[in-house]
Amino acid sequence: MGFITEFKEFVSRGKVMDLAIGVVIGGAFQKIISSLVSDVIMPPLGIFVGGVNFREIKLSLKHAVTDASGKVISEAVTLNAGLFVQTVFDFLIIAFAVFVAIKAVNRFNKKQAGKIASMTNEEKLLAEIRDLLKHK
């Protein structure tokens, strides 16, 4: 079997396609969560903690250098702590959403496993035949 043929078989498997779709959906989900955090959660949180805009929280390591006319010679160097806080919130929300999704899938799988365990041998055999016919 040639390398190209082997690669085609690998890519055409359902699991690889599912993974690719998951990555694309995950990227879109990340954008939604980032917007949720920066546009919905952080503004009220900033008001709650005294009108703070987290995007503007910076620690200046080196001030900008300008000439007499005001032209910037070298940019300021800052630690953008507020953006980091927003990224941490993004992560926590995404991690929580993934946790909830996995918990729901596990609960569903347990219910399905319970149904299969309570089936008679004939019902299990018929279910296997049905599943094999679906794949053809």
Owning domain of residue 86: 3-134
Q: Is the pLDDT of residue 131 over 80?
A: yes
Q: What is the DSSP letter of 60?
A: E
Domain of 18, CATH number, reads 1.10.1200.120
Does the pTM surpass 0.75? The reply is: no
The pLDDT tens digits of the residues spanning 32-72 come to 888 888 888 888 888 888 887 777 889 999 998 998 888 98
Q: Indicate the number of domains in the chain.
A: 1
Residue with tokens 């359902």: 14
Q: How many residues does the chain have?
A: 136
